Chain A
Amino acid sequence: MSVFIDQQTRLVVQGITGRDGSFHTRQMIAYGTKVVAGVTPGKGGQRFDSVVPVFDTVADAVRETQANTAVIYVPAAVAASAIFEAADAGIPLIVCITEGIPVLDMTRVLPYLQERGARLIGPNCPGLISPGRSKVGIIPGNICRPGRVGVVSRSGTLTYEIVHQLSTQGLGQSTCVGIGGDPLIGTNFIHCLSAFQADAETDAVVMIGEIGGTDEQQAADFVQHTMTKPVIGFIAGQTAPPGRRMGHAGAIISGSSGTAAEKMAAFARAGIAVMQRPADVVPLLKERL
């Protein structure tokens, strides 16, 4: 078992012929992901790298290939529309890598997905990887190792840093999920924590948060009241000034709310071991496993 994706994942890539889409499609295929279809309007009937059939619409791709997961690499201007299309085609898991989608677009996308029971991961996220099984998105496969630690994060390269520490010190991962750095996202920490809690192949979870919003505080509550597996937490942005967006659209301290100190305190109160720096991850996990 793993979380959200596994060998049954049949992936359709939206924006497969674009610069990012084509590069990462090759990486995903090389990793062993079953990429069954691509979508680029106007290029239906072609084959990507003479193998993957390309369709004009997601609906066509689902009908012909039984794709059950979509990954989106299209530009920000059309990304919301790509999510709507995937949901309309009945795809239950949609992973949106694209950065820069206007927040007001997301206020319309999210209720649409809820009505159709579709799960969105992202946007503005690196996707997810279940080491040795499947990868959907852009997380570099070579830094991951199969194992029993679940990782969930709002960040990209910071996640790679921490996963790299885990892998090189003998702790493999069951699944790593990048939930995205935007203020409005489809899948939050609690969704991932509850999936890891239910996953028989996950023994502990590393949660990597950052300044802005209250998702980590709510997750801390969930950990305290619902989870039995150990959770290790990190918060980036202790030195971030208030009122400034730190790269991620969602990483902003508003007034005095959403600070790293507040989130770390919430973690500590909930019994989550708090990492002071990325290098603490392995020692803290080993104490608890």
Chain B
Amino acid sequence: MNLHEYQARDILRRHGIPVPPGEVATTADEARAIATRLGGGGGGGPVVVKAQVHAGGRGKAGGVKLAANPAEAAAHAAKILGMTIKGLTVRRVLVAPAADIASESYVGIIVDRTSQRPVLMVSAAGGIDIEEVAAKTPEKIHRLPVDPRYGLLAHQALGLALTLYRDIAQARAAADIMQRLYTAFYAVGASLAEINPLVTTRDGAVAALDAKIVIDDNELDRRPEIAALRDTSAEAPSEVAAREAGLTFIKLDGAVGCCVNGAGLAMATMDLVKYYGGAPANFLDIGGSSNPQKVVSALRIITTDASVRAILFNIFGGITRCDDVANGIVQATRALPLKVPIVIRLTGTNEELAVRILTQAGFSALTDMDEAVKRAVAQAKAA
């Protein structure tokens, strides 16, 4: 789960990391009021107005603007609120005093899959896309795998901080921020936490200007206070509906709606759609259970997508029973008649029973995956 910048800044602040002031506005008037209070020069001075959406490249899209005074802040906020960035509508802006920046660096933590440890990454090339730095000039990033039994030790943090700052006071301040960021990483159950940029101001202070935190979805059950930060208005409605129904759904832009049990088979099915010249409309995993209700929810979500021209079911019955899926399809299509053709492939546990249920209800069912995918692609093209 992605957090907004303002939420990530709050978490850092609660962990004792210096974060410049800043507040969230949902209207232009609120933005003006915040700028009047927090703007440079004891209020009323320059502020930056930043779109709060779960998308990178906000600046390039026009979602980050500098305002000289509260009136300008209101004007920028009016433009940014309601703007669409990478398909997401901006509903909030962060208004913060424009900082007088002397230097920008990067500090981030991820869990590295190869060393199987949290890894701290720092770079003096801050403020820009760190993946670009990693790809083009990897030598500019210093990486330190941390032993989770002991945490980020003081001398390790200081060693990294000294790659960023020559001034020992600044290095100590940055090291303290790194240790606090590491603590916050575990405390909130993050899979990514980054400060980009970590800045020094003209008066020499070190502070976290912008922050990004991604939470491991598996942490949410045990951290209700973090789960409550979810902003469903910032997500595609179909994906919200799927999550509430216990399904994993990802919208894509093809015409073949896919409904599969198991994530690997779901990906392989999408790939096979492409192999036979079609394009998948979605990734959808109905999971390992055989609950007919899940099938009903899945069909409802797929059929609300207007670009779907054919629906493809691909079920390998191991634990999932094919007859349960067949019953789900029959129930769902009774409640919600289909406007597009459906191709059903089932094989494995209770396959014969499933075929009988579907045939009686007027569907035809296949047992071969390639045949089913070919047919779905052809029907999507004919529609």
Contacts and interface: CB of A to CB of B under 8 A. Distances in A.
B85 interface: no
A284 B261 CA distance: 26
B219 A208 contact: no
B111 A140 contact: no
B347 interface: yes
B140 interface: no
* Most chain A CB neighbours (cut-off 10 Å) among B248, B285, B318: B318
| Interface SS of chain B | mixed
A111 interface: yes
Contacts of B88: none
A104 B265 contact: no
B6 interface: no
A184 B116 contact: yes
B348 A247 contact: no
Contacts of B349: 140
A95 to B, nearest CB: 16
A249 B218 contact: yes
A247 B263 contact: yes
A8 interface: no
A279 interface: yes
Interface footprint category on B: 35 or more
B117 A236 contact: no
A218 to B, nearest CB: 8
A227 interface: no
A239 B271 CA distance: 6
A237 B318 CA distance: 22
Given A102-B189, A111-B148, A160 B348 contact: yes
A81 B72 CA distance: 55
B294 to A, nearest CB: 14
Given A236-B264, A247-B266, A183 B369 contact: no
Interface string B110-153: 01011011100000000000010011000000000001110000
B10 interface: no
Contacts of A211: 267
A269 B222 CA distance: 44
Interface size class of A (residues with CB under 8 A): 35 or more
B263 A155 contact: yes
B364 to A, nearest CB: 21
Which of A156, A239, A241: most chain B Cβ within 10 A? A239
A101 B149 contact: no
Contact of B111 (A101, A104, A214, A245): A104
Contacts of A256: 131, 135
A111 B149 contact: yes
A285 interface: no
Contact of B264 (A106, A107, A210, A214): A210
Given A102-B189, A102-B216, A108-B149, A251 B316 contact: no
A164 interface: yes
A11 interface: no
A269 B117 CA distance: 29
25 contacts: A76-B221, A102-B222, A103-B191, A103-B216, A104-B219, A107-B118, A111-B147, A140-B349, A154-B264, A156-B265, A156-B288, A157-B264, A157-B265, A157-B320, A160-B348, A161-B265, A161-B316, A236-B264, A236-B265, A236-B268, A247-B262, A247-B263, A247-B266, A277-B370, A278-B369
Interface of B: 111, 113-114, 116-118, 131, 134-135, 147-149, 185-186, 189, 191, 216-219, 221-222, 248, 250, 252, 260-268, 270-275, 279-280, 283, 285, 288, 316, 318-320, 347-349, 369-370
